[in-house]
A and B are shown apart, each in its own frame.
Chain A
Amino acid sequence: MGQKELKVAFLLALRSLQRGSRSSTLLTILIIGMCFTNMIFLPSMFSGIGQSITQQLIDYEVSNVLVSPKSGEQYITDLDATLDLINGMPGVQRASPQYSKGATFKYRQRLLGVSVRAISPMDEKEVSPVYTKMVAGSYLGEGDTGEIIIGKPIAGDASVRQEDEFQPSLGGVRVGDSVTVEFGNGYTKDYRVKGIYLTGWSPVDNAAFVTRTDMELVEGTTLDKANYITVRAKPGYSEQFIKNELLAYGVGVNGNVQTMTDLLSKSVGKVLQSFAIINAVSLVVSVIITTVVLFIVITIKTLNSRKQIGVLKAIGVDKEVIMHNYGFQVIILGILGIILGIIITLALAAYMSVHPIVTPEWSAYLYLTPMDLVINSVILFCAAAVAGYVPAYQVSREEIQNAMRA
């Protein structure tokens, strides 16, 4: 197959697309574009959910690195020294200790079991964005006592009857209201609700925060311990670097040091793995559908052109030229379809970044990387080429007389 033959095949392809049925060409491009969107939409949405979960885990649970008690121990002890050590290390933005205690909240006639987390508000602000998620009132201040912030699901809604509630709540607590909190050790205290927040991350939204100063009153002693310490890395520092530094500085003696990635592989890693499997299956199904659709489209196109194919062969056009003519048509249609698909996908991604699909657990948006677009483009291009060349190969081998009689 020489350059001249390829040139003629390309000319025939180009002219067929330029001067053939415009609606058929546009429809084929649209079909390929939609196939591309179909291929990339679901996996990107799962990736978006995965990213959303990961980000929420970083923001509200573990930050970049989590220091937890050593195996068999309930708390990290010698907290002040440990915090000083961590905060003084290169690459660490801030470390924030958390101490949790179970409690029963009482508001009017309602009782609700809630986990109360004691924090240092200044530290916590540097590690977690909960302070930006206040829907009413304000965040805790350093040294606040007798004040509490609670999640929106705990506060509840006064307009919803108790039996109609999706999950139990205090039935409409407002900022400034007083809530009686009875801790597990029997200590009972009335707290003024300083703020109500809603992060969208269920474990945090179903908890309440007080200051460590307040928790010391509950415990009746200086609180030099924590259930865990979340460590935020400065921009440009990797989690692994921080972990290595923490271990090198001996933090590993007092606690177990894990990066977010370590934890992710243990906890939501399985969920993300499931997403990856669903993505792979979805991709295979999409590719099959795409190939079949394109095969049908090109088969119809070639069958409608059988007479012309017969004529071309009769005047001395080689079957390879005829085959490549349809091959080039598919390649051109494929490229245009992929470009359209990319535009549709990017438009959807842009729209969903502003209007994500919000569920009680996470917000779903399309998470796309340039590599996703490249890989899906290559896959679709190959599928289109196969789907185009197979019918073109078949029809180009037809006997001249049979083709011309069509």
Chain B
Amino acid sequence: MIEITDLRKIYRMGNVEVRALDGVTLTIEKGEFLGIMGPSGSGKSTLLHMLGLLDLPTSGRIVIDDMDISRFTDYEKTMFRLYKLGYVFQDYALVPDLTVMENVSLPAMLRKDRTEEQTKKDSFSILQKIGLCDRRDHLPRELSGGQQQRVSLARAMVNKPDILFADEPCANLDTENSRVVLELFKEINESMHQTIVMVSHEDWHKEYFHRIVRMRDGRIVSDGINDAPKTTA
């Protein structure tokens, strides 16, 4: 479970103060597929970065699984990201010099509780799941945008994280590829009871979310359950 209390993020540029997050309080339950939506500059990505330990809040408290992450050292944050969190970025963010298989394996290779065999097996299995097994020896530049994003999702999932964060994962994809990626998220959420927090500004994405938090000017303006989320066929 994620508990956020009065989270604030203020950027200061000279005399100008920008309140990217202005007192956000939110609770995310395990297994939820949460969509954070809102217009550009509403603070949704900033919130995701705070939750994903990619940035520090100016004030406020984030507790994940009863752990106050503000008390973490730099190394503890890194290990927490490695073992507990998964990320899918808007621009895929794959390592260009690594093959698909190597990109997917990378986080698992660093885990102390995984053998090399296990890492290979898990990576292969997740690549099978996203349907890119035949492309495992290709470099990212040899794949389409949709395929790259699926690899990014596989990399995020290889360590079986507690929470999966996705920052506008379909922003660079056409509708058809967006649907393929969103279906994968949906499937992962349903089959693995995976907590997913996804930022999106595309209104039609909401059909995939269980719960939708809408933001504007750094504040939550609505927080509601999606009564009729799309289910996997």
Contacts and interface: CB of A to CB of B under 8 A. Distances in A.
Interface of A: 2, 4-5, 7-8, 11-12, 15-16, 18-20, 307-308, 311-319, 321, 399-401, 404
Given A15-B102, A314-B87, A318-B78, A308 B96 contact: yes
Interface in B157-193: 159
Contacts of A311: 89, 93, 95
B112 A4 contact: yes
B109 A4 contact: yes
A348 to B, nearest CB: 35
Which of A16, A399, A400 has the most chain B CB atoms inside 10 A of its CB? Answer: A400
A60 B155 CA distance: 76
B75 A318 contact: yes
Interface residues of B, number: 31
Nearest to A2: B112
30 contacts: A2-B112, A4-B111, A7-B109, A8-B109, A8-B110, A11-B102, A11-B109, A15-B95, A19-B96, A19-B97, A308-B95, A311-B93, A314-B52, A314-B54, A315-B81, A315-B87, A315-B107, A316-B78, A316-B81, A316-B83, A316-B107, A316-B110, A317-B78, A317-B106, A317-B107, A318-B75, A319-B74, A399-B55, A400-B54, A400-B55
B28 interface: no
Contacts of B52: 314
A399 B98 CA distance: 23
Given A311-B89, A316-B110, A401 B54 contact: yes
Contacts of B89: 311, 314
Contact of B106 (A18, A315, A318): A315
A19 to B, nearest CB: 4
Interface string B100-123: 001000110111100000000000
Contacts of A7: 109
Contact of B98 (A15, A307, A319): A15
A205 to B, nearest CB: 63
B10 to A, nearest CB: 14
The 7 closest A-B pairs by CB, nearest first: A316-B82, A19-B97, A316-B81, A311-B93, A15-B97, A400-B54, A401-B55
A319 B110 contact: no
Nearest to B84: A316
A401 to B, nearest CB: 5
B49 interface: yes
Nearest to B139: A19
B79 interface: yes
A314 B81 contact: yes
B70 to A, nearest CB: 16
A401 B11 CA distance: 13
Contacts of B78: 313, 316-319
A379 B229 CA distance: 65
